[in-house]
């Protein structure tokens, strides 16, 4: 199969990714092989490619915003069948036994492995993963649109949930990148008043387009009059984790 491979870290200008012909990964017990339809590009990929993060294997296939279709299943796979849509995110493995894994914080597991860092990721035609770390995907959203949800979507939803925020509360976001754009959309749906503080005009406009209640720069004073921000919609509260 064709894959973009990182062998030696270098600045992006030096084009550290090389298009190689490599063997198609063979799913082992409990693993699925996914034909990659789309893989988003994350800032973390650039950190790995350029050497801000140490290389954990070489050669390495980057990419952890993967969506595609299951093409082969290993022995004992019961969660997915051939033809299912599947998504693969940054967290690729955790031990399942430590205090973090047992309290729903697998991302902090000391033995955690990450897609496109410890193991090969999605800048390739195929990728394999344990069925335990693959997501079933909605049929009614295009695969390309779904890919960024595998990273920015997960990060933003988790962050929003951890705040314990409820309908009618106010939320301020400093900076407006991809994750914040998802927080804004989910927060709006939940009836949360949202303030965006960001520098660039492009990001300010994007925040306005997505329905932010207030948009300003770091030097601006945010409004304090509650009546200005009164909302009438009654959307549901966040589902339990």
List contacts with Zn ion (CB under 5 A): 42, 44, 94-95, 98, 101, 109, 151
> Residue 241 Cβ, how far from Zn ion at the closest point, in Å?
17
Q: State the chain's maximal CA–CA distance in angstroms.
A: 62
The answer to whether residues 35 and 86 touch, using CB atoms and an 8 Å cutoff, is no
Q: Toward Zn ion, which CB reaches closer, 42 or 48?
A: 42
Q: Number of helices and strands (H, E) in the chain?
A: 6, 13
Q: Toward Zn ion, which CB reaches closer, 9 or 94?
A: 94
CA distance 74 to 237: 39
> Residue 220 Cβ, how far from Zn ion at the closest point, in Å?
30
Q: Which string of b and e fits 186-207 if b means at least 16 CB within 10 Å?
A: bbbebbbbbbbbbeeeebbebb
Q: Toward Zn ion, which CB reaches closer, 103 or 233?
A: 103
The answer to whether residues 221 and 172 touch, using CB atoms and an 8 Å cutoff, is no
- Return the DSSP state at 76: T
> Residue 119 Cβ, how far from Zn ion at the closest point, in Å?
15
Q: Toward Zn ion, which CB reaches closer, 94 or 146?
A: 94
> Residue 230 Cβ, how far from Zn ion at the closest point, in Å?
36
């Amino acid at each position: 199969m064709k894959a973009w491979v990182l062998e030696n870290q270098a600045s992006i200008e030096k084009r550290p990714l090389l298009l190689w012909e490599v063997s198609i990964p063979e799913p082992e017990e409990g693993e699925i092989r996914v034909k990659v339809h789309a893989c988003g590009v994350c800032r973390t990929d650039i950190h790995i490619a350029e050497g801000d993060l140490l290389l954990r294997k070489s050669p390495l296939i980057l990419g952890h915003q993967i969506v595609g279709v299951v093409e082969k299943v290993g022995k004992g796979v019961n969660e997915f069948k051939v033809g299912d849509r599947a998504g693969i995110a940054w967290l690729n493995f955790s031990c399942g036994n430590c205090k973090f894994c047992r309290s729903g914080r697998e991302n902090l597991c000391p033995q955690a492995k990450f897609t496109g860092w410890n193991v090969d990721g999605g800048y390739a035609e195929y990728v394999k993963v344990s069925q335990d770390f693959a997501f079933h995907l909605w049929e009614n959203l295009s695969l390309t649109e779904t890919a960024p949800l595998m990273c920015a979507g997960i990060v933003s939803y988790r962050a929003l949930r951890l705040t314990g925020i409820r309908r009618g509360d106010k939320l301020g976001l400093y900076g407006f990148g991809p994750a914040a754009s998802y927080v804004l959309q989910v927060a709006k749906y939940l009836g949360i008043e949202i303030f965006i503080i960001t520098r660039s005009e492009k990001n300010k406009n994007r925040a306005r387009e997505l329905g932010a209640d207030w948009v300003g720069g770091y030097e601006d004073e945010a409004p304090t009059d509650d009546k200005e921000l009164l909302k009438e919609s009654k959307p549901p509260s966040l589902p339990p984790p």
